[in-house]
Amino acid sequence: MNIQLRFFASIRESVGTGSESLQTAATTLAALRDELIARGGPWADALGRGRAVRVSLNQTMADEATMLVDGAEVAFFPPVTGG
């Protein structure tokens, strides 16, 4: 399936892009994250397990068990604190 990825804040800075289109066989957000981590380097650093990362699917917050759908927009961003 083809999806659109968006990256925000420190994740965008780490991976060097704010967005990309991706053809993936991943069926869940967890599998997608693992696929991106497998790229290694800054991808593994920014999205690695143990890192606090939020994810949304079609502009709605989602957990990693959420199923992907063709044409989806998936966004990754670090937790945000206010002050």
Does the structural domain 2-77 have CATH classification 3.10.20.30? yes
- Supply the pLDDT for residue 80: 76
Is the pLDDT at 12 greater than 70, yes or no? yes
- Give residue limits of the domains in the chain: 2-77
- Per-residue model confidence as pLDDT tens digits over 19-77: 999 999 999 999 999 999 999 999 999 999 999 999 999 999 999 999 999 999 999 99
Can you give the three-state secondary structure of 12-78, one letter per residue?
HHHHCCCEEEEECCCCEHHHHHHHHHCCCHHHHHHHCCCCCCEEEECCEECCCCCECCCCCEEEEEC
Is the pLDDT at 82 greater than 70, yes or no? no
